[in-house]
Amino acid sequence: MTTSAIRSAPGADPGTTAQSGPDPGTTEAPGPDPGTAAQPGPDPGTAAQPRWSRRTRGLLVAAVLWLGYALLQPVLSGRWWLMQLPDLAPPLVFLLVPLLLAALAWTARGARRLVALVAAAGLVAGAGNLGVNWYALGDPPPPAPPGAIRVVSWNTSYWHQSEDPADFYTFVKSQPADVYVLQEYLYHDPDRMWMVEYDDLARLRQEFPGYHIYAVGELVTLSRFPISASRPLWVDAEMPELGNEWPDYWKVKTIRTDLAVGDRTLSVYNVHLQVSVDTSAEPVELIRDSRGRFDNRRLQYRAIADDVAANPNQSLVVGDFNTSPSMSETRDFDGLVEDAIRADRSFYPVSWQTQGPLQLWRVDRAFTTPGLAVHEYDLVDPRGRSDHALQRMQLSLAAPGS
C-alpha cells in the first residue's frame, strides 16, 4: 500500500491544508472585463440639461424669422423691386402672424417665454404696417367753417361701361362736391384685356353745368372753381407692347389743376398709380413685368413729390395709389404732406375690396400740405359700382400770409 505525502505551502499554517481548486461552497464575484475601461459615473452635482424638441426649435426659428421680416420690410419696401411680391400680403398679417406664434408659444416646452417674447417683438416691429388709424382714438378735427371745400375722389372702375350712364351720373351727383377727382375715365376691351380711351366730355358738361373740366388720359377733374392752370405730370414710363397705342394711360398717372378759390389757389393732384404686380401673368413674365412696374411707380411717386416740393400753393394729393398701408413707397412724401386719414373716425379704414363683399385694406389715399385743414374724411361704399370706395372730405385753406 502506498501512502501519498501532502506538503504544506511555504508559510502556511501547518494546521491548514492547501486546496488546489476553488471552494465548492463559495461563489466568487466576476472581476472586471480586462478589455473594458472603467467608465466614470455622472457628477452628482450637475443636473441633466433638457434638449429642445423639434417643435420648439421650429417655433423659435419662425418667431425670429418673422421678427427679422417685420424689421426689414419697411426698409426694403419701395427700394427693392422683389419686395413688391410679399407686399401684396394683407396688412393684417402683421397682426395675425405674431399673435399665432404667441398662441403656439405654450407648446414650446423649455422655451415658452423666449418664443412669446420674440413673437411680441415681431408684433411691435410690424405695428406701423397694420393700417390702423390711431387718430380715431383722439379728438375729432374742428368742424368745417362756412365756405369749406367739398371734395370727392373715386376710382370709377371703367367709368360707366358696366351700368346705365344715367344711373352712374345720378350716383356721382348724390355725393355733392365742389371738386370731383375721378379715375379710370376709360373703357375696358375684354377681347384684348386692355384699356381704351373713352370720350364722355359732352355728357360731363351736360351733367355738371358750371363746372370747369380738365381731362388727360384716364384722369378727369371737375371743379366749381375756375382752373387757373393745369398740366399732366409726364413720366418716362415703360409701356408694354399693347399699351403703345395709348401712351397717355402709361405716361400720365397724375394731373395737376390749380383752382382759384377766392384770392387763394388750391392745387389738386389727381392720382392713379400703376398696380405693382400683375397677378394674372405667368410666373416668368410676372418677374419681368414686376421689375418694370417697380421702376414706373418710382418715377410716378418721384414726379408727384418733386412737383409738390416746388409748388408754393396749398395742395391736395388724392386718388388711387394702389399702395396698401404696409407698403413704404409714400416715404417720398415725408416732410411734404400729411395723411388726411387723421380726420377719419374709423379705427380700421378700408377702401378696396375683391369681387366679394369683404373689404380688405386702404389703397385710396389723400394727402395735404401744411396749412390745408381737413375737417371731414370718410370712405363711402360705392354699392357695387366699383371695387373702390369714394373718398369724401371737407377742406379749408389757410388765410393768406398765415
Which has more confidence, 243 or 136? 136
Residue 283 confidence (pLDDT): 76
Residue 191 confidence (pLDDT): 72
Q: How do residues 95-122 score in pLDDT, each as one tens digit?
A: 999 999 999 998 888 888 999 999 999 9
Residue 14 confidence (pLDDT): 43
Q: Residue 335: pLDDT band by 50, 70, 90 thresholds? A: very high
Residue 51 confidence (pLDDT): 76
Q: How do residues 173-185 score in pLDDT, each as one tens digit?
A: 999 999 999 999 9
**Which residues neighbour 227 within 8 Å (Cβ) at sequence distance 6 or greater?**
212, 214, 257, 258, 259, 260
Given a cut of 90, whether residue 368 has pLDDT beyond it is yes
Q: HSE (CB half, 13 Å, CA atoms) of 29?
A: 2
Specify the pairing of strand 264-272 against strand 314-320.
Answer: parallel
Q: How do residues 189-229 score in pLDDT, each as one tens digit?
A: 877 667 889 999 999 999 999 999 999 999 999 999 999 99
Residue 210 confidence (pLDDT): 96
Q: Residue 13: pLDDT band by 50, 70, 90 thresholds? A: very low
**Which residues neighbour 294 within 8 Å (Cβ) at sequence distance 6 or greater?**
81, 84, 276
Provide the residue ranges of all domains of the chain, joining segments of one domain with +: 54-129, 137-396
Angstrom CA distances, 270 to 89, 279, 351, 365, stand at 26, 25, 17, 11
CATH of 137-396, one of 3.90.870.10, 3.50.50.60, 3.60.10.10, 3.30.950.10: 3.60.10.10
- For the chain, the average pLDDT equals 85
29-51 average pLDDT score: 52
Task: Give kind and range of the element (H or E) at residue 58.
Answer: helix 54-76
Angstrom CA distances, 257 to 25, 175, 336, 357, 372, stand at 118, 21, 18, 34, 16
Question: Considering only CA atoms, which of 325, 307, 324, 326 is closest in space to residue 316?
Answer: 307
Q: Residue 354: pLDDT band by 50, 70, 90 thresholds? A: low
